[in-house]
Amino acid sequence: MNLSRKLRHRSPQTTRAGAARAATGVALVLIIAAIFTGAVRADRPYAPSRDYHLQNVRVSLRFDLDQRKVIGEVTHTLSPLRDGLTHLDFDSADLTVSSARVNGKDAKFDLRDNKLRVNLAQPAKAGEKFEVNIAYEGKPTSGLYFILPDKDDPNRPKEIWTQGEAEDTHHYIPIYDYPNDRTTSEMILTVPGDWLTVSNGKLLSVQDAAGGMKTWTWRESLPVSTYLISFVAGEFKEKKDNWHNLPIAYYVPRGMEDTIDPTFSHTKQMLDFFSERFGVPYPWEQYAQTAVDDFVASGMENVSATTLAARDMVRADLATEKNEAADGLLSHELTHQWFGDLVTCKDWTNTWLNEGFATFGANLWEEHEYGVDASAYRYWRDQNNWMPSKELFPIPIVTRDINDSVEYVGNVYDKGGWVLNMLRKQLGDDAFFRALKHYLEANRLQNVVTADLVKAIEESSGTNVDPFFDQWIFGAGAPRFSVKSSYDAVTKKVSLSVKQTQKVEGHVGLFRVPVDVAITTAAGQKIFPVEVSKADETFSFAVDGPPLMVLFDKGNKILRSLDFQKSPEEWIRQLQSAQDVPDRADAAVALGNIKDNDSVTAALGEAARRDRFWGVRNEALRALGRLNSPGARKQVFTALFNEQPWVRQVAVEQMGRFQNDEETVKRLQAIYKDDKAYSVRGQALQSLAQDKGAGTMGLLEQALSTSSPDDVLRHSALRAMGMLGDSAAVPSLLEWSSPGKPSALRGVAIGALGRVDLKNHDITARLVSYLNESSFDIRYASIFALGRRGDPSAIEPLEALLKSGQLSISIPHAVEGLIEQLKMQNPSHKDSPAVDEKTADMPGVGASNNQVVVDRLDRLERQMTEMNDRLRKIEASLTGGRSD
Ligand SMILES: [Zn+2]
């Protein structure tokens, strides 16, 4: 939140160069808020020096629901770290303090610059013990959120939940709010008698209180960083269980009971798996997982009590359509209970020690539960998303320069997970997991920096990993390989020319990496390990005959891009016979660029139908979609019989590219009517909209009146209306965007309104009216729809929204970028910065051209849709759909 405030204070004149970053940052801001979990936004890369050590925090909270107010009392037990301290400072925002007492006596205090200063009667000595009691109240703008029924949604469950990371706990408790201290805590919540509450550690008691209320007392007896303190309270349903005598529980908002089993069924296996794999038993007194509405992220690893987004829960009637259920999210947060919670980064510079491990842990679970192909495919996709990123590539994983870099978040998650997986491959499982165990044990309940991990690895395995960390963690980028192979029939040698083509500058250097070269001849496959370290080098391998297939970095063990010149026959052989998923997926991608070649099309069709792993089938389908020839269409049609809905969905999605084709339209209409999976039927509607075939509008109207689980079909119909771009859809879209309709559908309808009848100012005015609603999702969708419409009358309302300070996590950054875009599209607007030469070459910034902005939004949406199933669902509720 501090970062956002700083951005708000920048004048338009100084933000132009930053606008490119802000605008590209939009994609990442969305990604942060949408998928990832506890998005880190912080402006203090260095941990502050401490005056005292916090030992215990005892918080009592009551709530005024009508006023969305918290009424609290906190008692801090603490001990100064040096002599002569005359006052004690606490972080505090949005709160009014009515009294402060030190060791039972009234103390003078003042509040300024988000600090509460409590004066001591006389200078303190190091090691002395103080009890500081503070009474306060306030209306938090972040950190604590009220979800309440209103006239449009009178039955919605009442909920209050918190989100502490990065530095937001001090918006509802005056407290030391940075990770580099740890304290035990007590959370005492007085709430209506029919509510449930969930907090950290152990539930000590539930007692009747005046006025039909109940007081719940929770205690976390192990010291944790204050951003991990949390609670949830409200109208929830619970399911209790236990795991080796430890209480575990699942909570969902009233009315979502059917999601509990399909979402949480793997929890106990995950607890067993991670306890065994990390070598340290699950360390806390309970494990609660609570789904809440309108959560600001997908999940947050609060100590022993993870909070999750209700929109990510798996519905029973759609469970068979969902690949890997919600396991990715659940295993990410559960990994954090060790990496992030038991051992916590000392400062945000070292966030990758939290997020890289959580990403790695989720992939580890995926490998265990769904097989090595599934996790290899995940890494391959993460790599292909990360490598082209111009923003992420030049920034090291560990950098102090995080003030202006929302981009860096993409490094600490995906690249962080990748780097840990490389380290695992290079050390071997035995040494690697021994090192993790040692790292966890040596730093248990402490705060860490990257050097602590390096040291633990060296102590447990003897291996000095400084060079590895220097290039992958403190250095930036990754190798971009360009490889050519040739065969000399006389000497029977394969020679491989290997170039590293990344630009060596800034933090990006040449890489020294171990690479497996695999050469297959008629006699079979042989693997040659080599070390690549130069910009340009040639390796030579003795073989027993002409090579049939040459793989560089077999199995994709290195984070890299690879440009390997091969003939169509070689790629086909690789698609058909490489052992590892990444090598077959690479071949599918390469074949998708080879036009007018019947054997290529046939091989891709074969792979789309029969590859033993679904991900390769999907890549083959995407390659056929890109080829988009009559032959490729035929192959896609034959793959429509795939059993997994998530493969059929990709096939149907590709059909959206086959425009002006009668048979495609007929088939899509039949799929919409007959497919067993709602997700596939919904995709058919969207592909029809892309085809823009006659009669589609009628079908969409019909779908809009059809009930389906979770409104999947209405959802798709609204999205498709936006894609179709037909003004005839405006009345339906306005109707479904209105207050009173289900919030998820409103979000989609609003997104679609961003794409139709762009000259119609009434639509803009309607979207502007939604900016003042309390729902995070509705405001979010409206902001983006306004950005897409490009109507300058939205600029002032957006600026007013920004100034109001009513925006929560991640939003201000996105709004700033959109305001800049709108101004640049509309140079006549009075605040429009003039285009200058410096910015003119930045795509979408210098050019005051509507199309550029639309392209940027399209690209943004594409990036988002490519992330994963979870993101896909959220994105669908935010924007009007993809245009590619
Ligand atoms: Zn995380």
- Helix or strand run (H / E) with residue 525: strand 524-532
Helix (H, G, I), strand (E, B) or coil at 718: helix
Q: How far is the CA of 787 from the centre of ligand 1 (A)?
A: 29
Kind of pairing, strands 95-102 and 130-138?
antiparallel
- Percentage of the chain lying above the pLDDT 70 cut: 86
Per-residue pLDDT at 791: 85
240, amino acid identity: K
Q: How far is the CA of 168 from the centre of ligand 1 (A)?
A: 16
* Token pair listed for 483: 């490889």
Inform me whether the pLDDT recorded for 598 exceeds 50: yes
258: DSSP letter = G
Question: What's the CA gap between 318 and 273, in Å, rounded?
Answer: 27
Q: How far is the CA of 333 from the centre of ligand 1 (A)?
A: 6
Question: What's the CA gap between 30 and 509, in Å, rounded?
Answer: 30
* Token pair listed for 187: 């959370």
Q: How far is the CA of 872 from the centre of ligand 1 (A)?
A: 18
Q: How far is the CA of 332 from the centre of ligand 1 (A)?
A: 6
Q: What is the CA radius of gyration of the chain?
A: 28
Q: How far is the CA of 31 from the centre of ligand 1 (A)?
A: 13
Q: How far is the CA of 357 from the centre of ligand 1 (A)?
A: 8
Q: How far is the CA of 358 from the centre of ligand 1 (A)?
A: 6
Q: How far is the CA of 89 from the centre of ligand 1 (A)?
A: 29
Q: How far is the CA of 335 from the centre of ligand 1 (A)?
A: 9
What are the beta bridge partners of residue 414? none
Q: What are phi and psi of 41, to 5 degrees?
A: -130, 110
User: Starting at the edge strand that comes first in sequence, how are the strands of the sheet with 105-106 ordered?
Assistant: 105-106, 95-102, 130-138, 69-80, 52-64, 183-192, 213-224, 202-209
**pLDDT tens digit string along 782-828?**
888 888 888 888 888 888 877 776 655 445 556 666 777 777 766 65
Per-residue pLDDT at 613: 98
Sign of CA pseudo-dihedral 405, 410, 412, 415: negative
Inform me whether the pLDDT recorded for 635 exceeds 60: yes
Per-residue pLDDT at 608: 98
Q: How far is the CA of 712 from the centre of ligand 1 (A)?
A: 28
Residue 691 or residue 583, greater confidence: 583
Q: How far is the CA of 212 from the centre of ligand 1 (A)?
A: 38
Q: How far is the CA of 336 from the centre of ligand 1 (A)?
A: 7
Q: How far is the CA of 514 from the centre of ligand 1 (A)?
A: 29
Q: How far is the CA of 339 from the centre of ligand 1 (A)?
A: 9
Range with the lowest mean pLDDT among 11-20, 539-548, 599-608? 11-20
Q: What's the count of helices (H) and strands (E) in the chain, helices before strands?
A: 31, 29
Question: What's the CA gap between 541 and 525, in Å, rounded?
Answer: 13
Inform me whether the pLDDT recorded for 534 exceeds 80: yes
Identify the burial level of 476 via C-beta atoms within 10 angstroms of its C-beta, where 0-12 means exposed, 13-18 middle and 19 or more buried.
buried
Q: How far is the CA of 817 from the centre of ligand 1 (A)?
A: 25
Q: How far is the CA of 651 from the centre of ligand 1 (A)?
A: 32
CA 856 to the chain's CA centroid: 20
Q: How far is the CA of 477 from the centre of ligand 1 (A)?
A: 22
Q: How far is the CA of 194 from the centre of ligand 1 (A)?
A: 32
What are the beta bridge partners of residue 101? 106, 133
* Token pair listed for 403: 């003030």
**What's the whole-number average pLDDT of the chain?**
88
340, amino acid identity: G
Q: How far is the CA of 736 from the centre of ligand 1 (A)?
A: 34
Contact 458, 427 (CB under 8 A): no
Q: How far is the CA of 422 from the centre of ligand 1 (A)?
A: 20
Range with the lowest mean pLDDT among 57-61, 334-338, 399-403, 449-453? 399-403
Contact 687, 653 (CB under 8 A): yes
Which one of 142-151, 410-419, 428-437 scores highest in mean pLDDT? Answer: 428-437
Query: Peptide bond before 876: cis, by omega within 30 degrees of 0?
Result: no
Q: How confident is the model at residue 714 (pLDDT cuts 50, 70, 90)?
A: very high
Listed in sequence order, the DSSP H helices in 645-794 are 645-655, 662-674, 678-691, 696-704, 712-724, 730-737, 743-753, 761-770, 776-789
**pLDDT tens digit string along 446-504?**
999 999 999 999 999 999 999 999 999 999 999 999 999 999 999 999 999 999 999 99
Per-residue pLDDT at 790: 84
- Ion ligand 1 contact residues with beta carbon within 5 A: 37, 355, 358
Q: What are phi and psi of 153, to 5 degrees?
A: -140, 70
Range with the lowest mean pLDDT among 111-115, 387-391, 702-706? 387-391
Inform me whether the pLDDT recorded for 836 exceeds 80: no
The pairs formed by 404-410 with CB atoms below 8 angstroms and a separation of 24 or more are 404/18, 404/21, 406/25, 406/28, 406/29, 406/32, 406/41, 406/813, 407/21, 407/24, 407/25, 407/28, 409/28, 409/32, 409/36, 409/39, 409/40, 409/355, 410/28, 410/31, 410/386
Q: How far is the CA of 647 from the centre of ligand 1 (A)?
A: 28
Inform me whether the pLDDT recorded for 746 exceeds 80: yes
387: DSSP letter = T
Contact 170, 90 (CB under 8 A): yes
Q: How far is the CA of 417 from the centre of ligand 1 (A)?
A: 11
Contact 359, 464 (CB under 8 A): no
Contacts of residue 498, defined as CB under 8 A and 6 or more positions apart, other chains included, come to: 481, 482, 483, 532, 536, 537, 538, 539, 552
Of 54, 58, 341, 56, nearest to 187 (Cα)?
Answer: 58
Q: How far is the CA of 783 from the centre of ligand 1 (A)?
A: 26
Q: How far is the CA of 603 from the centre of ligand 1 (A)?
A: 40
Q: How far is the CA of 495 from the centre of ligand 1 (A)?
A: 44
Q: How far is the CA of 616 from the centre of ligand 1 (A)?
A: 28
Contact 231, 199 (CB under 8 A): yes
Q: How far is the CA of 233 from the centre of ligand 1 (A)?
A: 22
**pLDDT tens digit string along 151-208?**
888 999 999 999 999 899 999 999 999 999 999 999 999 999 999 999 999 999 999 9
Residue 264 or residue 836, greater confidence: 264
Q: What are phi and psi of 594, to 5 degrees?
A: -105, 105
Neighbours of 536 (CB within 10 A): 10
Q: How far is the CA of 37 from the centre of ligand 1 (A)?
A: 5
Give the length of the chain: 884
Q: How far is the CA of 269 from the centre of ligand 1 (A)?
A: 20
Identify the burial level of 742 via C-beta atoms within 10 angstroms of its C-beta, where 0-12 means exposed, 13-18 middle and 19 or more buried.
middle
**pLDDT tens digit string along 321-359?**
999 999 999 999 999 999 999 999 999 999 999 999 999
Q: What are phi and psi of 739, to 5 degrees?
A: -55, 140
Q: How confident is the model at residue 44 (pLDDT cuts 50, 70, 90)?
A: confident
* Token pair listed for 787: 């950005």
Q: How far is the CA of 642 from the centre of ligand 1 (A)?
A: 34
Q: How far is the CA of 412 from the centre of ligand 1 (A)?
A: 10
Per-residue pLDDT at 858: 53
The tally of CA atoms less than 13 A away on the side-chain side of residue 479 is 27
Q: pTM of the entire structure?
A: 0.88
Identify the burial level of 828 via C-beta atoms within 10 angstroms of its C-beta, where 0-12 means exposed, 13-18 middle and 19 or more buried.
exposed
Q: How far is the CA of 48 from the centre of ligand 1 (A)?
A: 23
